[in-house]
Structure 1
Amino acid sequence: KAALFEEKLVCVGCPTNKQLSRRLPLEKYMSMGHVTVRFGRARRPSIEEFFLLDLGLKRREEVVVPTFDLVPSMLSRTNRIATIPMRLARHFAEVVPLRIVQVPLPLSSFTETIQWPALHNGDPASIWMRELLLQEAQSLVAG
């Protein structure tokens, strides 16, 4: 396992969403329709779901998508919001109009990591991929 970078979550929505203000009150955040990401056949939640559960909170899910890359299109021309990693939000905002605001919750930052089975410690292809991911992560942090 290797750490890539520290990350935090942000709230995103369509720039025309009048309900999404720079200082989003918690009550408004919880009552708005959310686009959430669930992975794989088991529909495993992404990290923000675990943070919310730890705080004893449940959001109003309107749309569930299988990958983060579908989130912006589900926000376009709607009053929905989503909670996603900051770097991903900035990446999406380069190509899709998005408003990015702070999440009105005391959410911890987290470390993005890569993991691999010990069996692949010496595998040249695995080593190459890990080195590539670590280099890209360093350029993200530096840039």
Structure 2
Amino acid sequence: MPDLRAIDLNLLVDLNALLTTRNVTSAARQLNLSQSAMSGSLARLRKLFDDPLLVRNGRKLTPTTRAEALAEPIREILSQVRDVLTDPEAFDPATAHRTFSISASDYATAVLLAPMLRTLSTEAPHITINVRPRSDDVRTLLHDDRVDLAIEPRELMAETALPNAVLFQDRWMCIMDASVRPDPDMPIDVASFLALPHILYSIGPGLQLNHADRHLVNQGLSRRVEVTLESFLLVPLLIRGTELVSLVLERSARLHSLEGLLLVEPPVPVPDINEAMYWNPRHTGDPGHTWLRDKLLSAAAELSATSSEAIVGSPGLRPATA
């Protein structure tokens, strides 16, 4: 085991800069060092790890396999050291200048974030919220601190060690143009549902399906997919005047004027979703992060209190109203 007292731990800072920039001059500039000093650090690092770490490939420096394996642990170590040496500051939303990033679908943004954001201009005038698109790799998004929070259906996240909290529940409905079902009192059967052209919500280059569509696939039900998109809120606009049908979350559908459309109980039972927020565990004790999570929990509680009666227990097949 190496004796840490004999190692200059500042070399880890230099290594992080070198692996990030992959350029001696840029790394030196980033750390306010001379190029010769950074070259000296690279030489000492090569000796310490008994590996070239960065090798020239044309005009660029390319990390070795060992260097690539070191990159993430080095970042984590330096981040933890900063946390240890930094005293937690009290967070006052009225005076704090800070930016938070939240990964969320347009559905979660419209039904949850929008009501919360309306209160921030007076309560937290210097706070900026960046809403980022959903990712098909939420764990990496949070692990790399590319977002502070990710709002995802708990059913899609499965088992995870990420800290999380449930925000609210919603149920799936079919949406279609009223002309497709001349008799709105006639329940739609499975065969009729599957025969219609469908809109599917999916995300990422792999077209990851939402919870409802994944459930139908797992049931072995085959549909004619005519449109795929990454937006719940656009579905009613695309449905109107067509034979298209889609599974949507009821809260999002009712954000629109739905005159001339139908919301229909799915002919195949689809489990409800539970929207939850997830975060990197290293932010759990951060006062600003805690404030943001509390704001989301409060907005979710208000959402559930004001709309639960309209969402739960409403009739199965009915013309939608504005």
**TM class by smaller structure:** 0.7 to 0.9
Q: 2:295 aligns with which of 129, 132, 136?
A: 132
Rounded Cα–Cα distance in structure 1 between residues aligned with 2:183 and 2:304? 28
Whether the 8 Å CA contact 1:43–1:66 is kept in 2: the answer is no
Does 1:36 pair with 2:200?
yes
Q: 1:50 aligns with which of 187, 211, 214?
A: 214
Residues 108-127 of structure 1 deviation map (CA, whole Å, 9 limit, x = unaligned) = 22311111111221234432
Rounded Cα–Cα distance in structure 2 between residues aligned with 1:134 and 1:16? 40
| Range 119-128 or range 38-47, more displaced | 119-128
CA shift at 1:134, angstroms?
1.4
Aligned residue number for residue 170 of structure 2:
7
3-state DSSP of counterpart to 1:57: coil
With CA pairs under 8 Å and 6+ residues apart, which has the higher RCO, 1 or 2? 1
CA shift at 1:41, angstroms?
2.8
Aligned residues: 141
Does 1:69 pair with 2:250?
no
> Of Structure 1 and Structure 2, which has the larger fraction of its residues in helix?
2
3-state DSSP of counterpart to 1:67: coil
| Range 13-22 or range 68-77, more displaced | 13-22
Whether the 8 Å CA contact 1:72–1:96 is kept in 2: the answer is yes
**Pairwise CA RMSD of aligned residues?**
1.9
3-state DSSP of counterpart to 2:295: helix
- Equivalences for 1:47-126 in 2 at 5 Å? 47-92=211-256, 95-97=257-259, 98-126=261-289
3-state DSSP of counterpart to 1:69: coil
Larger radius of gyration: 2
Residue type of the alignment partner of 1:127: T
Structure 2 residue ranges without an equivalent (≥5):
1-163, 307-322
Structure 1 residue ranges without an equivalent (≥5):
none
Residue type of the alignment partner of 2:253: A
Q: Give the direction of change, closer, same or farther, for the CA distance of 1:19–1:43 in structure 2 (3 Å limit).
A: farther
